Structures are given as structure tokens and as C-alpha cells.
Structure 1
Amino acid sequence: MRDRQVARDARRAGEFQAFAAGAAGRLLHAATLLTAEAPDANPRARRLLTHALAHTYARWDRLRGEDPYDCARQYLATRFARTVWHRYGVPGRARPDPRSPLAALAPRERLILVLRLYEGVAEEQAAALLGLPTERVHTVCERATAALLHPARPAAPHPAGTEAAPS
């Protein structure tokens, strides 16, 4: 009996190790996009990844045909959403790194954009995961995409002496 348990634990650890080796890079990139940290300095993203992988490992035996990557991605997204809401909801607490491609977006915009465009999650699935109406997910994704593709330009200063004279 003991040998069977040891063999099962070793198989489980090997399966999870193979999964983590294949999925960790993509999940870390998604987490780095979410946190808007620089790729070479991303402690919050690494913490998110660690929690997501630990959660997936804890559920490994109960997945029963579910995609472990989907499980890890869902946990990553929901943990990010909760963390932003509870810890970083105060303006200025977690400033995005200006080197991040998504630094100009709000956390919810980053989350929806990463789920929809980077991870390829359908609008309906993203809405269900985040507890939002599908239309809201669509609107936020469109706005975030537009903000990235057409960033607002800073207002140009008026040259001296070119203001209109009062009538």
C-alpha cells in the first residue's frame, strides 16, 4: 500500500512538473502584462504565478479532465482582480512601470485585454470569470484596444503671441 502511494505521488509530481515547465513562461508573461511591470523586474507577477501554480498543484488530482492551464489562468486572473481591488485600489499604491506596453491602461482594462487578446478567452467566458455582463467586457476591451492603438497625444503648447486677440 505504501509503495503504491509513493508511486502515485511521484507520478503526480512528475506530471505537474511537466505542466509547469511548459506553462510557466506563458503564465508569467500574462501576469507581467496584468501587473504592468517591466519584464526584468516583476515581483508581483512572479508572486501571482507562484500562487496560481500552487493552487493548480493543490487541485491536480481533482481536475479530472479539466485543462490545468485553464485552471491556473483562471486563478491568476481572479487573484489579480482581488488583489487590485483590495490592496491596490488606492490610487498610487501600485504604479505601472512606464516600460510596460500596458502601463497606460487601468487594471480592469489590462485584465480584460490580456484575457481576450493575449489568452484568447471568449467574451462570454471572460464575463463569467469576472462576474461582469458580456457587453461590459466587450466595451472595456474595445476601449482598451483603442487606447493602445491610438494613444492620446499630449496637448501641444501654444506658441507665444499666437493667441487670438479679444474682440
Structure 2
Amino acid sequence: MSRDDEYTAYMTARLPWLQRVAYLLCQDWNRADDLVQTAMTRLYVNWRRARSVENLDGYARTVLVRVFLAEQRTAWWKRVAVVRQTPEPAAETLDHDSNLDLRAALAALPPRQRAAVVLRFYCDLSVEQTADVLNCSTGTVKSQTSRALAGLRRALDPTVELT
């Protein structure tokens, strides 16, 4: 199997998962697609190294999270494209109120806290694995996760008093 065939087979199988992780990070399907596209490009460029790692999904996820965090550090005008015509609104999707509340609460978190929560609880990574992806210490992961969970609790149940 050629290099391109291996890459195509992997991306075909893992694309929906990468899109879901990206959506959880940025809360916008269009932006999630952009993040995945950038991550896919970086993965393709480094495919020789990537295909030799023990955990390819972990490698791809790390690339995706780092693309997201790098984008968060750039100025808003570098992320916004001005168009002459507004795009047609997306079709309405049915969703439960609790899912909408959780998405809104997740979107309100700062980017690194959001990334920590997504990696720890959606991707089911350990503290050490999350620290490796975020390129920080385990203590930072713990504090970011703790602050994120406190923020989610406040957003989802304002009557809860946190100390």
C-alpha cells in the first residue's frame, strides 16, 4: 500500500471522530471543518513520522488540539473572513435543551480549559496524556480541568455555590 493510500484510508476512517473533537473544542461546525483540514494537512506533511508512532489516533488528536490552541492565540481578524454575501443559514437541527445548555457552557470556557475538558472527558485521556497533548505540566491540566468543571457547574446550575 502506498503512502497516499495509507493516509487516505486512515483519514477516511477517522474523519468523523476528528470533526467531533474539533466541534467540541470550538463549538462551530464550519470552524471545526477548518481545524480538521489544517490538522489533516499537517498530518499529511508529516505522514512518514506519524504512521510510525504507536498511537496514531493520539498523534492526530494532538495535532488537532495544537492547531485549535494556536488559532486561539491569533488575532480575531486573522480568523474572520469578510464576504460580500451572507451564507444561507444552516438547517435547523433538533436538539435537547440540556445539550444546548452544555454546549453553551462549554463554549463559554477559555480555550485551554475547554481543551482540557474535551481531552479528559470526551477523549478519555489521563492527566499525563492530556498534559502531553497540551504541552504543559500535569498540575496545569488538573487546575485547568478543575476550573473548567467549576465553570460548567456554575453555568449549568447557577444555584450551586462553589467555594
* 2:49 aligned residue: 62
Equivalent-residue separation in structure 2 for 1:27 and 1:54 (angstroms) = 13
Q: Give unmatched runs, 5+ long, in structure 2.
A: 81-98
TM-score by length of 2: 0.70
Matched, 1:118 2:118: no
Matched, 1:27 2:18: yes
Q: Give unmatched runs, 5+ long, in structure 1.
A: 1-7, 155-167
What are the equivalent positions in structure 2 for 1:1-167 lying under 5 Å apart? Answer: 11-37=2-28, 42-63=29-50, 65-66=52-53, 67-88=55-76, 99=100, 101=103, 102-150=106-154, 151-153=156-158
1:96-141 deviations in Å (ceiling 9; x for gaps): xx94712232211111111111112221222233232211211221
* 2:89 aligned residue: none
Between structures 1 and 2, the one with greater helix share: 2
- RMSD (CA atoms): 2.4
TM-score by length of 1: 0.69
- Following superposition, the deviation at residue 85 of structure 1 comes to 1.4
Equivalent-residue separation in structure 2 for 1:63 and 1:47 (angstroms) = 21
Equivalent-residue separation in structure 1 for 2:133 and 2:144 (angstroms) = 15
- Following superposition, the deviation at residue 26 of structure 1 comes to 0.7
Q: Work out the percentage of aligned pairs sharing the same amino acid.
A: 30
> Would you identify which runs of 4 or more consecutive aligned residues in structure 1 move more than 4 Å?
none
Q: Which has the larger radius of gyration?
A: 1
Equivalent-residue separation in structure 2 for 1:70 and 1:44 (angstroms) = 21
Query: Counterpart of 1:153 in 2: which secondary structure?
Result: coil
